[in-house]
Structure 1
Amino acid sequence: MSAPPDAVLAARRRFFSGVPVADDALALPILRSWTRCAERGLPVAGRLRAEPLTQSELAARRERHEVLRRRCRPELEALHAAANASDSIAILTDPSGLVLDTVGSADFADRAAKVALRPGVSWSEAETGTNAIGTALVERRPVEVRGAEHYAEAHGILTCAAAPIHDPFGEIAGLLDLSGPASVPHLHALALVQLAADQVEHRLFEGAFPHHTLVRFHADPSYLGTAREGILVFEDYRLVAANRPGLALLGLGWDALGARRFSDLFEGALGRAGEERRVRSVRGDVMLRLDRQALIVPPPARPVRPPARAEAPAAPEGPRFDPQTEKDLGRAVRLLDAGVPVLIQGETGAGKEVFARQMHRRSARTGRAFAAVNCAAVPEGLIESELFGYEEGAFTGARRSGHKGLFREADGGVLFLDEIGDMPLSLQSRLLRVLQEREVTPLGGGRPVAVDFALICASHRDLKQLVEQGAFRADLYFRIAQYTVTLPALRTLTDREALVSRIWQELAPAGDAPLLSAECLAVLAGYDWPGNFRQLVGTLRVLQALAEPGEALTVDDLPADIRRVPAPPCAIASAPALSGDLDAVTRSAIEAALQAAGGNISQAARRLGIHRSTLHRHLGTHGKAGRAG
């Protein structure tokens, strides 16, 4: 709440004289902002630098945020009446505080323009000092700044109220502001813009998650369907998106995304689409309505996409990595946030795209674009237009309106180039130029367009070897491989039984997985899985579809090629473990593993979950060093 004008002036004199200001003399967000501005050395008197964008630059910025502008149009029009009545203007900004649109009193708009409160000008706190737009973005909450509370004296003619718009992932998508003359009281301005921002945030969920489970809830059923209802979005029962009321009703923060499951928040199962019922939440009873249940009710058939657009992986996208890979993921996210390109290497099906999507979700760019292209799946003649885009009439068959291309679609977010080792050499030089200059020129001419994206590349091929063979540019390799993560093959992981069990549970609707016999689980864990996670998940889906209620799946239910693989030594060697000493158990386990692997030491070591050299030492100890490797 703002302090009285006289109190603000007194606090201002003390602050700019270097005298400490009591916390209760001024609204804390204002005092914190003044302190930040003073530390930056911003001038109090005179004009602050406010260089507006050119018309073409503003048009490009508006195009980049066209979805936001379209979503906010109803709220801007609703604020229009309030703005005209109070001689004010309603403002929409992008996430950085750059003014995109204004509506309202033409008379006040002229006066506001004298202090650069107009489209194309940035009102970030770092550039213009304490103001409702910039300070609300820093504080990440609604803020009102009246008259002399502005840092710059020139802005004392304004009274402004602003509320950030949070997207379903907790990132700020933009901001709404209502600004008017400081000489006129604006009693309800903050409530109006906050309500408008709530409405926009509520609308952001419309059609945004067609293949996810969407839950609406509130303690008072009359709020269902309004901007005050809680909204949670689940993917494979893991919370992946939410609105602020939903998190507040459960006492959670944005860090709950990706970390909580449905069973952590509510008692019982999800239920059926369209069903309303009372459920117990972590904070008491609520009325819950399931909008869509993508895990039970099959989603409508997806439209066919061009091959360049990589589909979301069929496997669950929640973390299912071993501890070392999870550690590598944390490092990769930090480097991605620092602008360092990351290269993911690994066999086909090892989870390279899943790893890349997790990097995106955990990075500072979560909620922004994730543009993916499989360089091996696109014909050589099309990949250039898919990446760079093209102008109208660039070639026969080009769309009349042209095409932005993935580089521009990824602007502000993450570009994922899968199987980059299959990119044609002629295109590698153009990609290198984009990475160096951070701008892209569409096919068919046109002005270069600046782009800002984080880069993740992946390949199952040995790029170093391709460089030595002359099939991959060395300068591009060193540009994209500043940090490399190598994902392990599934067969190299030691605790595969636990891994298979976890994925088996995650794939089951409502966690109600069919029964899986111990022998069947042992064979699944012992199989080499040449297709890695992709093959494993596909096999488990088939088994769940074939399962009979109340009956355990056995080895006989497995596909023939998997069924022929003997169970791992832990099951075979269980009898000696009950009666013999440790050496006898060890000898028995080694014999069983070698027999199952046909005498191959490397395969036997993988089955035992130990390194090959360790197995060699045991073979030497037990007099079997001559066995084939």
Structure 2
Amino acid sequence: MALDRIGTPDAPRQLFANTPAQRVALARQQFFEEGVRPSGLVGEAVIQSWMRCSRTHTDRQRIVTFDAVTPSRLHATLARSRELLDAARQELAQMEHALAGTDCRVILTDREGVVVHVTQQPAAAHQPVLRKTSRVGVNISERVVGTTAPGIVASTGQACAVDGAEHYFDVLGHMQCAAAPIRDVAGQLAGVLDLTVEARRFGFDAASMVALHATTIENRLLQAQSRDHLILRFQASPTLLGTPLEALAGVAPDGTIAWLNNAGARLLGRLPEAADERDVEYLLGHDLASLLRLGRREAAQPLRLASGLGVWVQARLKGADGADFRHAVAMPGEAAPLAIERQDDARMQAPEACECTNLVESASPAQATLREHSRKLIEETLAAHGGNVSQAARQLRVSRGTLYRRLHGWRDNNGAEEGASPA
């Protein structure tokens, strides 16, 4: 690159580039031609990607092939990504509707960078690269197409935007892309959401948009993968519940917090690595039985965390077979829902309402696990309806078949235990 000179031809070389394009051009010269690390000219994520790609791809001028994976591998990839696609379906439709007046493509990949969803609309003549990449099954990971935003996210798990010549291969120099990660309940990368446009600028903050929708997809995926967990939704303001800003936590049957989303980690801190340090009472300041009682209420409840922070909480317990126990009958010793609402309304009207930490009563030790709690609710719901399975299933909002399977499973387990006991 011929650098501009200041003033006369004898003037010293310009130390700083004036435009983003000049900065990237200078960074490429320093990195690829001079072997100098271009810190400050491009982002660290791009520099690290260039370093990885330079070990894999020696010719930056070559034509990049966007070949789809084999049909058998594609079938396996789509099968593995079914949960991800189900969680993303609503957000993908909303994004595509919002971007219908642009040339942007919405792309969703699996954790390995294979496209599992892409916007289906005719690519314009000025988008030759997108015509090739906008296909399900194409691998757009770093090892195949070099530096791209989705490639970096698949490699690092961190959100990223790549602009023009920041792409490793010259042929991608007219692309703009922004991508964000989607993680599962194990904290592992489940997929990457990407926005890409060719031969023009986005014209809006694509990185913020893709991060917002990726967060919503991730929150849906976390809840979908959390059968048999108590799911807590909480935030400092109740108006934030049900939005991408809500904090989520999954409480396992043993009373430990199995996972937190990013918003939850910001309120509670990162989960300890050791499982024995994830006790819900230690991290939240309330035992499992108390939190289970919150699940009987539709409305958000005020709660003070162990840190002293006051939040609003909604709890939902869903069985492994989809039973929603929020709609079961009240447990013995528990106030009727209407009475609880009236008591809480009175508390909220009092000035010291937010100072109250014991908003829920402790349950007996027999109710200390989620499975015991759900079984007790089913049995009591059946008893309340005189053993009528159809009415109980309607109350629990599950099918009769689901309820029958539960009952038969318990009966079989009880029979096995009796058979194993000594005469």
The TM tier, using the shorter chain, reads 0.5 to 0.7
Partner of 1:509: 368
Aligned partners of 1:88 and 1:108 also within 8 Å: no
**Displacement after TM superposition at 1:120 (Å):** 1.6
- Is 1:251 the counterpart of 2:251 in the alignment? no
**Displacement after TM superposition at 1:288 (Å):** 2.5
Partner of 1:192: 209
1:204 partner SS: helix
Q: Give the one of 5, 13, 30 matched to 1:14.
A: 30
Whole-Å separation in 1 of the counterparts to 2:151 and 2:220: 24
Structure exhibiting the larger radius of gyration computed from Cα positions: 1
Q: TM-score, normalized by length of structure 2?
A: 0.64
Whole-Å separation in 1 of the counterparts to 2:276 and 2:58: 40
Whole-Å separation in 1 of the counterparts to 2:199 and 2:268: 39
What are the superposed Cα offsets for residues 122-178 of structure 1, whole Å, 9 maximum, x if unpaired?
A: 111122111011101222121111110101111112101111111122111111111
Whole-Å separation in 2 of the counterparts to 1:160 and 1:47: 19
Greater relative contact order (Cα 8 A, min sep 6): structure 1 or 2? 2
Aligned partners of 1:239 and 1:259 also within 8 Å: no
Partner of 2:95: 79
**Match runs of 1:216-235 below 5 Å:** 216-235=233-252
Whole-Å separation in 2 of the counterparts to 1:148 and 1:36: 17
Q: Give the one of 147, 161, 175 matched to 1:158.
A: 175
Partner of 1:39: 55
Whole-Å separation in 1 of the counterparts to 2:315 and 2:107: 35
CA spacing shift, 1:156–1:257, aligned 2, 3 Å: farther
**Displacement after TM superposition at 1:79 (Å):** 1.6
Whole-Å separation in 2 of the counterparts to 1:150 and 1:95: 20
What are the superposed Cα offsets for residues 102-134 of structure 1, whole Å, 9 maximum, x if unpaired?
A: 115422496234554532211111221110111
CA spacing shift, 1:154–1:125, aligned 2, 3 Å: same
**Displacement after TM superposition at 1:57 (Å):** 4.2
Partner of 1:287: 312
CA spacing shift, 1:256–1:293, aligned 2, 3 Å: farther
Partner of 1:215: 232
**Match runs of 1:64-463 below 5 Å:** 64-103=80-119, 105-108=121-124, 111-113=128-130, 116-235=133-252, 236-253=254-271, 255=273, 259-270=277-288, 271=290, 272=293, 273-275=295-297, 276-282=301-307, 284-292=309-317
2:106 partner SS: strand
Structure 1 unpaired stretches of 5+: 301-504, 511-541, 543-559, 562-629
What are the superposed Cα offsets for residues 452-507 of structure 1, whole Å, 9 maximum, x if unpaired?
A: xxxxxxxxxxxxxxxxxxxxxxxxxxxxxxxxxxxxxxxxxxxxxxxxxxxxx997
Whole-Å separation in 1 of the counterparts to 2:272 and 2:60: 36
Deviates more, 1:173-182 or 1:264-273: 264-273
**Match runs of 1:444-593 below 5 Å:** 509=368
1:289 partner SS: strand
2:173 partner SS: helix
**Displacement after TM superposition at 1:203 (Å):** 1.4
Partner of 2:346: none
**Displacement after TM superposition at 1:55 (Å):** 4.5
Q: What is the letter of the counterpart of residue 143 of structure 1?
A: C
**Displacement after TM superposition at 1:291 (Å):** 2.1
Whole-Å separation in 2 of the counterparts to 1:211 and 1:53: 36
What are the superposed Cα offsets for residues 417-457 of structure 1, whole Å, 9 maximum, x if unpaired?
A: xxxxxxxxxxxxxxxxxxxxxxxxxxxxxxxxxxxxxxxxx
- Is 1:25 the counterpart of 2:50 in the alignment? no
1:76 partner SS: helix
Q: What is the letter of the counterpart of residue 244 of structure 1?
A: N
Aligned partners of 1:88 and 1:105 also within 8 Å: no
1:106 partner SS: coil
Whole-Å separation in 1 of the counterparts to 2:62 and 2:318: 58
CA spacing shift, 1:55–1:287, aligned 2, 3 Å: same
Aligned partners of 2:177 and 2:197 also within 8 Å: yes
Q: TM-score, normalized by length of structure 1?
A: 0.44
Whole-Å separation in 2 of the counterparts to 1:7 and 1:83: 30
1:70 partner SS: helix
What are the superposed Cα offsets for residues 57-106 of structure 1, whole Å, 9 maximum, x if unpaired?
A: 43443233223222212222112134332211111111100112211542
**Displacement after TM superposition at 1:253 (Å):** 4.9
Aligned partners of 1:162 and 1:175 also within 8 Å: yes
What are the superposed Cα offsets for residues 359-395 of structure 1, whole Å, 9 maximum, x if unpaired?
A: xxxxxxxxxxxxxxxxxxxxxxxxxxxxxxxxxxxxx
Q: What is the letter of the counterpart of residue 249 of structure 1?
A: L
Whole-Å separation in 1 of the counterparts to 2:158 and 2:271: 14
Whole-Å separation in 2 of the counterparts to 1:208 and 1:9: 45
1:209 partner SS: coil
2:186 partner SS: coil
Whole-Å separation in 1 of the counterparts to 2:223 and 2:271: 22
Equivalences, count: 306
Whole-Å separation in 1 of the counterparts to 2:153 and 2:118: 18
1:193 partner SS: helix
Q: What is the letter of the counterpart of residue 17 of structure 1?
A: E
**Displacement after TM superposition at 1:193 (Å):** 1.2
Q: What is the letter of the counterpart of residue 39 of structure 1?
A: R
Identity %: 28
Aligned partners of 2:185 and 2:226 also within 8 Å: no
Aligned partners of 1:30 and 1:130 also within 8 Å: yes
**Displacement after TM superposition at 1:508 (Å):** 6.6
CA spacing shift, 1:27–1:82, aligned 2, 3 Å: farther
Q: What is the letter of the counterpart of residue 284 of structure 1?
A: L
CA spacing shift, 1:136–1:42, aligned 2, 3 Å: farther
Q: What is the letter of the counterpart of residue 156 of structure 1?
A: G
Partner of 1:447: none
Structure 2 unpaired stretches of 5+: 1-18, 326-363, 370-413, 415-420
Aligned partners of 2:160 and 2:179 also within 8 Å: yes
Whole-Å separation in 1 of the counterparts to 2:272 and 2:110: 21
Whole-Å separation in 2 of the counterparts to 1:23 and 1:257: 40
2:311 partner SS: strand
